Structure 1
Amino acid sequence: MARVTGRRSRKRRLQSDINVVPYIDVMLVLLIIFMVTAPLLNVGVDVNLPQADAHALEQAKKQPVVVSVGKDGALSLTYEGVSRPQAVDAAQLVAKVKAFVAADPNVPVYVAGDREVSYQTVFAVLSMLQRDAGVPRAGLMGAPESSGPPKK
């Protein structure tokens, strides 16, 4: 029988610890990705919003009072029993809406602003309705978006 040399007879021992080098590589790559993308997530647009003391709007099932603001800032009022909007000034608007609110405190009041009117004008009407006319609920009215781009 042939004698086997010592080199061949020694068996290799199994390595019992985990090789963590690939995990460290993956961790470093992820760290670099997050370091590069994190500053990009904080990009925003500064908007100078008008301020008013408005309250949240709740949905109601009653016939609403609609205040329309034309593109020139003209006010008109539509309510139950009126077929077309009535042109009013700010004092008349406050008086009429105040009467509706006195008759029914839960009457919904909406402001429908023309697309061309400034946001500040519509917001001022909303604020005036809540502050001067005592409207507990005042909301904005809108139309569903059309399929095409807005007309200019």
Structure 2
Amino acid sequence: MQYIAPIGIGILYALLMSLVREQHRRRLNAVMVAGAGAAYLSGGMGGWEFPFTALLTYVAFRGLESWTWIGIGRLPHTAWDVVHHVKGHPIIPFAHTSSLGCAICDPVIALWCLRGGPSLIGLVRDRRRTEHREPTATTG
């Protein structure tokens, strides 16, 4: 369950973000990347936390106008999650496997972002409309 729940959390994240209208959705996700960059400050990796935070701040800034940059920003955070898990410095100090869960969840969100952060609700709605259309009669 510790490996499957983070995938569900990533999907739930994309679903909840689908409630936010575009332009705002992209910018909110850019802010989330910046927050992810700062999540590990004082996280046990010493001075390495500062360049990492600076890197993700730059990526988040670029993400204000680009879903690709937001998706890219999730990937170094995934690597940083793995480092923290291996070193025994989880993102949530009282939840030993929280960094592992984050490392599994982040690529799910990254894939959604790299696809342009589409509204999952809109995709389902559009698919239902397409399936419920009656085929048009063709004359031959």
Q: TM-score range by the shorter chain?
A: under 0.3
Could you state the TM-score of these two structures normalised by the residue count of structure 1?
Answer: 0.26
Could you state the TM-score of these two structures normalised by the residue count of structure 2?
Answer: 0.28
Of structures 1 and 2, the one scoring higher in RCO (CA 8 A, sep 6+) is 2
Task: Say which structure is richer in strand.
Answer: 1
Is the radius of gyration larger for structure 1 or structure 2?
Answer: 1
